[in-house]
Structure 1
Amino acid sequence: PPESVFLTAGGYSAHNHPVPALAGRRIPLGYMGWLWSHGFNGSELQKAERDLTEMFRGNESLLSKYDIDYICVGPFEEDFARKKGISINISGCKLIYDRNFSTGRWQIYIRN
């Protein structure tokens, strides 16, 4: 549904992520390089980026707080996880879309 929220890599890592940029889907945190220039508080953005990290670790309370419906795992998210030193935890999720592209592997999970 159009009002669905997708968990994607955010912060400083994904100004051109296809989920918000091409599909126009809602995400919990956009590219921070643009957000601060529009007056968003830097400390709030840093907290939101920490929340992203915890959501990719599988923090259910934060996934619920941000109303996450889908979790995207692709090259941007793998890079985000590598930079943060974490593993993406998708236990409790169901794979609904799995597609190989020439640029890598993309998967979309729905929260159960």
Structure 2
Amino acid sequence: QASGDSFMRGWYNWGNLQDGYLWFYLVNLGVTALLFLSAFFTADQRRFTVCAPAAVIWFICEFVVFQPNTYDNNKLLYAAYFLVCGVVASYMVEIYRRLRTLPGRRALAVGALVLCMLSAVLTIGRESIAGYCLYGDSQLKAAEYIYENTEPEDTVLTDMRHNNEIAALTGRNIVCGSTSYVYFHGLDYTERETDMQSMFSAPQANCALFEKYSIDYILVSAYERNNFNVNEAEIEALFPCVFDENGVQIYKVTF
């Protein structure tokens, strides 16, 4: 795990794959990118104590990555950006005060605020009219059934999707979640995924696998049908269906 490209290594310009260096930060940071250096080099002691750690973090993250996925450097850069925003905002207030004799300084200030907040306002506007649905009604009812009718240590055989309602809403064990969490850290779940396919497609011939993973329930929904070759007829013949709602079924494993 800690060798090769798995963890800390030198890597210049972390997540910038196609833009010029300065342009990348200009389009991503906007006014903050334009004013950061001026704010940093003219900062008084109080602002400097806030800004200096951010500069150190930023400098290190430009040359070193600390995890297999280089883009994850943004987790450190968010903290640095949070500090930088405060220092730049203070610097902008200072500029506004110094320009008290400049005609139209209020209009200039409004323009600067628009540049600072426009992308955030557009994002909030987009989200306010978006129609995302993380979980459908039948998924919520299935999760509610699992939560109310199973034991905390029970295990459910279900799909490996990222937003799995069983793992997210009930706290029950699942055989295998999204491998994207651990793939970049070198953990291989190929065997487990293969075993899941075997249990879904030929449950009667793979009773030993159900015992191996201590499976108590099977969830069958559109996700499982799309991602696994689910033998629903055999599952129905072997296990009692304890929940059935709009294409989502839960079977209780009774070996």
Whether these two folds match at TM > 0.5 is: yes
Q: CA separation in 2, counterparts of 1:61 and 1:34? A: 28
> Please, which of 221, 227, 240 is the counterpart of residue 94 of structure 1?
240
Q: CA separation in 1, counterparts of 2:186 and 2:173? A: 17
> Which structure would you say has the larger RCO, counting Cα contacts within 8 Å and 6 or more residues apart?
1
> Please, which of 12, 32, 49 is the counterpart of residue 193 of structure 2?
49
Which aligned segments of 4 or more residues in structure 1 are displaced greater than 4 angstroms? Answer: none
> Please, which of 66, 69, 74 is the counterpart of residue 216 of structure 2?
69
The percentage of counterpart residues that share the same residue type is: 33
Query: Would you say the 8 A contact 2:224–2:230 is kept in 1?
Result: no
Q: CA separation in 2, counterparts of 1:40 and 1:69? A: 29
Query: Would you say the 8 A contact 2:219–2:251 is kept in 1?
Result: yes
Of Structure 1 and Structure 2, which has the larger fraction of its residues in strand? 1
Matched, 1:107 2:254: no
Deviation per CA, 1:70-107: give whole Å up to 9, x if none. Answer: 000012111112xxxx233413110001112xxxx111
Of Structure 1 and Structure 2, which has the larger fraction of its residues in helix? 2
Provide the secondary structure at the position in 1 that maps to 2:248: strand
Query: Would you say the 8 A contact 1:2–1:25 is kept in 2?
Result: yes
Name the structure 2 match of 1:4: 154
Query: Would you say the 8 A contact 2:167–2:174 is kept in 1?
Result: yes
Structure 2 unpaired stretches of 5+: 1-150
Q: Which has the larger radius of gyration?
A: 2
Shift of 1:40: 5.0
* RMSD between superposed Cα atoms in Å: 1.3
Provide the secondary structure at the position in 2 that maps to 1:41: coil
Q: Relative to 1, partners in 2 of residues 1:30 and 1:40: Cα closer, same or farther, differing over 3 Å? A: farther
Deviation per CA, 1:46-93: give whole Å up to 9, x if none. Answer: 111001101112121101100000000012111112xxxx23341311
TM-score after normalising by structure 2: 0.37
Structure 1 unpaired stretches of 5+: none
Q: CA separation in 2, counterparts of 1:76 and 1:16? A: 11
Q: Which amino acid aligns with 1:106?
A: V
Q: Which amino acid aligns with 2:175?
A: P
Shift of 1:28: 1.1
TM-score after normalising by structure 1: 0.80
